[in-house]
Amino acid sequence: MEGVAGDGLAKGAGVISRALAGTCAGLPDLMLRALSCLPMPRPILATIDLAALRHNLAVARRHAGARKVWAVVKANAYGHGIERALRGFADADGLALLDLDEAARAREGGWRKPVLLLEGLFTADDLPAIDELQLTAVIHHRAQIEMLAAFRPRAPIDVYVKVDTGMNRLGFAPTETSASLARLAALPGVRIVALMSHFANADRDDADAGPGAVSDQLRAFEAACRSWSGPCCLANSAALLLHPQVGGDAVRPGIALYGATPMAGRPAASFGLKPAMSLAARVLSVRMLAAGASIGYGSRWRARRSTRIGVLACGYADGYPRVAPDGTPVWIGGQRVPLVGRVSMDMITVDLTDVPHVDVGAEAELWGAHIPVDEVAEACGTVGYELLCALARRVPVAERN
């Protein structure tokens, strides 16, 4: 979004119209005329800023120093789109993601650098695709080793071996690590590329983390991997930005690449990050609400004064959190205004009393340059990750370079 009542939504409508025209090429004239009469989508638009993606990757690269950078693009690039991430993160050393569909999309989009499957293979049926797409798989359980042992790839499959140092989700226990490495090293169809682990509390100072502090996990990793002299990959966004003592040969930032903070209570801008996604909607209706009157489901909010209410074309079916409380900020008319009343499926309501010049058709920012997604998330008792990933498929998406 370019400004307070900017033309982001209008530009987005133009993008959608051009895309529709391209999709319709070759259709019969009668059908084309019918399609040209279709109304434009609801006045809501997510805009992905590719320049911000590139900027945030450069920030991560500066913190990484000589270490390689895996750009984490799981969950459809945290809601930003795999195909956009390919362009925004073109300078990354590799992509890290979750499943074969996303990996295939990356390869189809022209990505020829390494692709890391963060949870490895789920069943033996995944192995032919891993082999064909030349993917690197994280191996974290002995069952995966046995699947690899029974498979004959065209070329050795690269693997990262995950060690559980305190997260207690995935990974080999420290006592299992040496034996697991030996078993993998004995397989002719496998090449061990690196060891990795994942921090449970990298978003906190060690003094505040208690058991499971970054320093504790580092010691556990070093103890478990004494027999390994090859590369290691340890730092996520929080460790990369907050714990410079974490070494290794590669890093795998995620949320920071999208311009959101990895640490509650510290704004992303303080790390030099820029938001890559903005979510905007227009005002559908403006009405006066008498003092004492309520609005929305459950009549949660009641006016203490005569209040000018704006209804925006965004709801929980678009990915805006239903749990957003009264007072959650929205940017419109050059300033913040509070959300009032419960979020419904397709609409939210805001108090426009202090912005009398705002009327039907005005553009509001739900999150973006003026309202950080992390601030909205904090108001809702969650994290920016969740809001970005929850952007609904029905929301039109435009790009900005």
Contacts of residue 180, Cβ cutoff 8 Å, sequence gap at least 6 = 139, 142, 145, 161, 172
Q: Using one digit for the tens of pLDDT, what is the confidence trace for 60-85?
A: 999 999 999 999 999 999 999 999 99
As a whole number of angstroms, the distance between CA 280 and CA 397 comes to: 10
By the 8 A CB rule, do 330 and 336 touch? yes
Q: How large is the C-alpha radius of gyration of the chain?
A: 24
Instruction: Answer yes or no: 68 catalytic.
Output: no
Strand partners, 195: 161, 232
Per-residue model confidence as pLDDT tens digits over 173-197: 999 999 999 999 999 999 999 999 9
- In the chain, % of residues over pLDDT 90: 86
- Per-residue pLDDT at 22 exceeds 50: no
Q: Which residue has the tokens 């004494």?
A: 226
Q: Is the pLDDT of residue 1 over 60?
A: no
Q: Summarize the confidence of residues 293-307 as an average pLDDT.
A: 97
Phi, psi (deg, nearest 5) at residue 62:
-65, -40
Q: Which of 78, 162, 274, 297 is catalytic?
A: 297
Tell me which residue has tokens 């900020």.
329
* Mean pLDDT across 83-90: 98
Task: Tally Cβ neighbours within 10 Å of residue 7.
Answer: 13
Contact 367, 373 (CB under 8 A): yes
Tell me the pLDDT band of 7, cut-offs 50, 70 and 90: low
Strands 294-295 and 301-302: antiparallel
Closest CA to 256 of 50, 60, 47: 60
Instruction: Grade residue 40 by pLDDT with cuts at 50, 70 and 90.
Output: low
Q: Is 274 a catalytic residue?
A: no
Task: Specify the pTM.
Answer: 0.90
- 31 pLDDT band, cuts 50/70/90, is very low
| Angle, CA of 216, 218 and 223, to the nearest 5° | 100
Measured distance CA(369)–CA(382) in Å, rounded: 19
The confidence band for 317, taking pLDDT boundaries of 50, 70 and 90, is very high
User: pLDDT grade, residue 41 (50/70/90)?
Assistant: confident
Q: Is the pLDDT of residue 2 over 60?
A: no
Output the pLDDT for position 237: 97
Instruction: List pLDDT tens digits, range 140-161.
Output: 999 999 999 999 999 999 999 9
**Residue 52 predicted with pLDDT over 80:** yes
Judge contact between 301 and 294, C-beta under 8 A.
yes
What pLDDT shows up at residue 16? 47
Give the pLDDT mean for 309-319.
98
- Out of 134-143, 205-214, 272-281, least confident range: 205-214
According to the model, what pLDDT value does residue 32 have? 43
Residue showing tokens 């004239």: 29
Mean residue pLDDT across the chain: 92
According to DSSP, residue 38 is labeled S
As a whole number of angstroms, the longest Cα–Cα distance in the chain is 77
pLDDT of 36 above 90: no
Q: Which tokens hold the place of 33?
A: 């005329």
Nearest to 313 by CA among 47, 46, 42: 42
**Pairing relation of β-strands 294-295 and 348-351?**
unpaired
For residue 35, pLDDT beyond 60: no
Other C-beta atoms lying within 10 Å of the C-beta of residue 265: 8
| 54/39 Cα distance (integer angstroms) | 35
The H or E element containing residue 83 is helix 82-88
Contact residues for 245 (Cβ-Cβ < 8 A; gap 6+): 214, 215, 218
From the list 74, 160, 162, 258, the catalytic residue is 74
What's the average model confidence in pLDDT over 386-391? 98
Q: What is the distance between the terminal CA atoms of the chain, rounded to a whole angstrom?
A: 12
CB 139 within 8 A of CB 161: yes
**Amino acid identity, position 251:** V
List the structure tokens of 305. 């004064």
67 touches 90 (CB < 8 A) = no
pLDDT value of position 25: 46
**Residue 17 has what pLDDT?**
47
pLDDT at 21 over 60: no
Our CA angle for 48, 49, 52, nearest 5°, is: 135
Report d(CA 70, CA 73) in Å as an integer. 9
pLDDT at 211: 76
Q: Answer yes or no: is pLDDT of 23 > 90.
A: no
| pLDDT digits 0-9 by tens, 234-264 | 999 999 999 999 999 999 999 999 999 999 9
